[in-house]
Amino acid sequence: MLGFKRPEMKYCLYYWLFEPIRGKLKDDAARIPAFSITTNFRDVDYEFALFCHEDGSPELARVRIPHLNTEKIPEDTLPLLQILKEHLISTLRLAYREDIQIFPMATWSFFDEGKEHKMGLEIEIYDPTQLDVNLVKSFFSASMRYREEIRLLVDGRDARLPLQYRFLSYYKIIEDKFKNAGRWDTKQLDKFLEAYRARFVEKGFNKKPASLIHELRDRCVHIRTGTKKEVFGVTQLNHKEAVRVAEMLPLLSDICKELINKKAAGALVIGDISLWHEKMQPNKALNPDAANSAAPVS
């Protein structure tokens, strides 16, 4: 008779890091948190803890996700992660420092239930490119006429800003091009966005691009939206809408970059621009048995 071995349950430790990063970060069962609380979300208890550096400043926050069958964060847990992150930063900005920032990358590791964890992470910002002074000088001069559009493009790419503000920065660039005297030139907008339709579909967006952009704009502007039944827009309380906006941002970045280049008509050309945190090179976890990952914080 063949035996059946039940797969071992796992748990995940999900971390947010605070700036400035101080080289190597470590966490194990012997480390004592500044505080630890248990929060219940959809009938599951999650342990949330804050850890401080030896100088007393916040260093990292951690949530324990229990009872996992696979090394994958459950979809149902994602809203909780966003709620905890947003409320933590709000609390710290009121009770500690108004300028505290969460590092734009989160990290997580999986461990076997019943076994102690040991996590180590070293993050290095690696950018071998020296400042091209002539490029900066020429772009600074050539782009002065388009400084507002450039500022909006940069705000849209800033991972430290809330998603809704980033979306609305891009939306303003589109609005400036296709809206005149309070009226949208819908034909020209649809014609322009047609070149991006395939990329919208690849992201899982099946609506007409212009309609989707307008819809998400309303979600970003209004905390509550809807006519018959009010629902939450893009806030930490509505993870679904936040995910949709996050998926849209890279597309909008390319759309707005093209619009600025067309408006400048050769006076300047914005080429391939990658977000700085995409250059991050997380080194191998100090725990070689843990599946360690890193991803931008949304």
DSSP states of 15-26 as a string?
EEEBSSP-SEEE
Tens of pLDDT along the chain (298 residues) come to 455 556 689 999 999 999 888 778 889 999 999 999 999 998 999 999 999 998 899 999 999 999 999 999 998 888 888 888 888 988 999 899 988 989 878 899 999 998 889 888 776 665 556 778 888 888 888 889 999 999 999 999 887 788 889 999 999 999 999 999 889 999 999 999 999 999 999 988 988 999 999 989 988 887 554 555 555 545 544 667 777 888 889 999 999 999 999 999 888 888 876 654 444 433 333 333 333 333 333 3
Query: Distances from the Cα of 104 to the Cαs of 16, 114, 206, 240, 284, in angstroms?
Result: 9, 31, 29, 20, 19
Q: How many CA atoms lie within 13 A of 123 on its CB side?
A: 22
Gap between the Cα atoms of 249 and 6, Å rounded: 42
pLDDT at 298 (0 to 100)? 35
Q: What share of the chain is helix, strand, coil (3-state, %, to 5)?
A: 40, 25, 35
Measured between alpha carbons, how far is 140 from 145 in angstroms, rounded to an integer?
10
Query: Quick one: pLDDT at residue 104?
Result: 79
Contact 245, 165 (CB under 8 A): no
- How does DSSP classify residue 6? P
Write down the pLDDT at residue 267: 86
Claim: this prediction has a pTM higher than 0.75: no
In this prediction, residue 283 carries a pLDDT of 34
Give the model's pLDDT for residue 268.
84
Contacts made by residues 259-266, CB under 8 angstroms, sequence distance 24+: 259/149, 259/173, 259/174, 259/177, 260/146, 260/149, 260/150, 260/153, 260/173, 263/146, 263/149, 263/177, 264/142, 264/143, 264/146
pLDDT of residue 129: 65
pLDDT for position 290: 34
